[in-house]
């Protein structure tokens, strides 16, 4: 996929294009950023552009070289990942890669190697890479992908140019999901819960999401009636582990954004599948109260992220919401 087809990361891509134009790309990079934000796509686009015979600063996307890169079968690209039954990337894999990289490229102007996730290289493997990073044989380019560059040995980091990728904005995730064939309302909800990661958006199973949405709505309508006991039922059933709680809170935030839109008299909402239930919630709340609930949800989300007790944080939030409901 050429740079031109990558969504987001405009500044990073502009820098790459300029360095390709001036022949100033580095030999060794660390791409740091959340899983599923486009690091690997960008790494492959960079290699594709460096390999493409007709590239000025971006791959043409149609020549045999570009098609091989896109089809994952270019003989001069080496992708190093943990072997299927292993957690770490072992030293043997790195040695083999180094032997390969030292050979003359088959057809490309140089060899390329992508290591992911780079933080899973064993210490021995990482140490064996130092010399290659310093002086890659035959002008090879080596790209390490990691969620957090601080997890790499400082000696590795200092030999590479570190490029930081931001999470994808929700509107980009939504667009990508729609390109994958998902309908707008589901794409919009998943995009808000995906933390800027396409991979996470795809992992959040749509059916499971629908079940959770119903459960949350059921509890919300009980809370809406101001029943204190309903608070504890709700947090009991919705808390789960930290990740599940964060998903629930994202969903809640997305509901209340819609409720705010409805109370403000704007008909446009994201969760169209549950519009009647949201309209009922909106009728019971003033705009001020709805804004307050949304801000309480965000505060709870931050607390849960900072390791607060999940159950207590939700108790506290639902309690505040019950009080809002009785006004």
Q: Which residues 277-306 are close enough to bind Zn ion by CB under 5 A?
A: none
Measured from the CB atom, is 20 or 115 closer to Zn ion?
20
Q: Which own/partner pairs from 232-241 qualify as long-range (CB within 8 Å, at least 24 positions apart)?
A: 232/315, 234/314, 234/318, 235/311, 235/314, 235/315, 235/318, 236/311, 238/314, 239/310, 239/311, 239/314, 240/310, 241/310
Question: How many binding residues for Zn ion (CB under 5 A)?
Answer: 5
Helix (DSSP H) and strand (DSSP E) numbers for the chain:
15, 5
Measured from the CB atom, is 67 or 311 closer to Zn ion?
67
CB 2, min distance to Zn ion, A: 8
Token pair 């791959």 is found at 59
Contacting residue, 44, 49, 66, 274, with Zn ion by CB under 5 A = 66
Determine the Cα–Cα distance for residues 51 and 239; give it in Å rounded to an integer: 50
CB 1, min distance to Zn ion, A: 12
Contacting residue, 60, 204, 298, 308, with Zn ion by CB under 5 A = 60
Measured from the CB atom, is 64 or 169 closer to Zn ion?
64
Cβ–Cβ under 8 Å, residues 111 and 142: no
Measured from the CB atom, is 59 or 278 closer to Zn ion?
59
Q: Which residues 25-54 are close enough to bind Zn ion by CB under 5 A?
A: 52
Cβ–Cβ under 8 Å, residues 23 and 135: no
DSSP state of 114: E
Q: Which residues 183-212 are close enough to bind Zn ion by CB under 5 A?
A: none
DSSP state of 89: B
Measured from the CB atom, is 77 or 321 closer to Zn ion?
77
Which residues in 93-132 are b (16+ Cβ under 10 Å) and which e?
bbeebbebbeeebeebebbbbbbbbbbbbbeebbebbeeb
CB 65, min distance to Zn ion, A: 5
Measured from the CB atom, is 60 or 162 closer to Zn ion?
60
Contacting residue, 6, 7, 35, 63, with Zn ion by CB under 5 A = 63
DSSP per-residue letters across 130-182: HHHHHS-GGG-EEEEEES-GGGS-HHHHTTSEEEEPPPPPHHHHHHHHHHTT-
Q: Which stretch binds Zn ion (CB under 5 A): 65-73, 222-230, 301-309, 314-322?
A: 65-73
Measured from the CB atom, is 54 or 309 closer to Zn ion?
54
Q: Which stretch binds Zn ion (CB under 5 A): 56-64, 77-85, 186-194, 304-312?
A: 56-64
CB 128, min distance to Zn ion, A: 33
Residue 129's nearest CA partner among 69, 110, 140, 39 is 140
Q: Which stretch binds Zn ion (CB under 5 A): 57-65, 116-124, 157-165, 268-276?
A: 57-65
Measured from the CB atom, is 17 or 213 closer to Zn ion?
17
CB 59, min distance to Zn ion, A: 5
Tokens of 233: 């039922």
- List residues near Zn ion by CB under 5 A: 52, 59-60, 63, 66
């Amino acid at each position: 996929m050429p740079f031109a087809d990558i969504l987001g990361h405009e500044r990073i891509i502009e820098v790459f294009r300029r360095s390709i134009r001036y022949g100033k790309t580095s030999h060794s990079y660390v791409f740091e950023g959340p899983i599923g934000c486009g690091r690997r796509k960008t790494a492959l686009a960079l290699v594709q552009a460096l390999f493409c015979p007709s590239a000025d600063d971006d791959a043409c996307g149609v020549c045999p070289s570009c098609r091989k890169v896109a089809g994952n079968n270019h003989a001069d690209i080496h992708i190093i990942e943990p072997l299927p039954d292993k957690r770490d990337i072992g030293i043997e894999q790195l040695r083999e890669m180094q032997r390969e990289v030292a050979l003359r490229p088959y057809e490309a102007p140089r060899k390329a190697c992508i290591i992911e996730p780079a933080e899973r290289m064993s210490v021995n493997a990482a140490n064996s890479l130092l010399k290659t990073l310093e002086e890659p044989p035959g002008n090879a380019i080596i790209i390490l992908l990691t969620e957090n560059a601080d997890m790499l040995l400082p000696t590795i980091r200092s030999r590479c140019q570190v490029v930081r990728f931001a999470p994808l904005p929700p509107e980009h995730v939504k667009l990508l999901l729609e390109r994958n064939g998902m309908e707008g309302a589901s794409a919009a909800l998943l995009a808000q819960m995906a933390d800027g990661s396409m991979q996470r958006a795809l992992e959040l199973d749509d059916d499971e999401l629908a079940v959770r949405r119903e459960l949350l709505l059921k509890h919300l309508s009980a809370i809406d009636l101001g029943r204190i006991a309903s608070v504890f039922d709700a947090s009991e059933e919705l808390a789960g582990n930290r990740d599940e709680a964060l998903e629930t809170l994202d969903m809640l935030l997305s509901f209340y954004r819609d409720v705010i839109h409805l109370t403000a008299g704007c008909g446009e909402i994201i969760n169209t599948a549950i519009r009647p239930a949201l309209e009922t919630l909106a009728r019971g709340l003033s705009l001020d109260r709805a804004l307050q609930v949304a801000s309480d949800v965000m505060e709870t989300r931050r607390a849960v992220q900072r390791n607060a007790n999940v159950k207590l944080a939700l108790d506290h939030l639902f309690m505040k919401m019950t009080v809002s409901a009785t006004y």
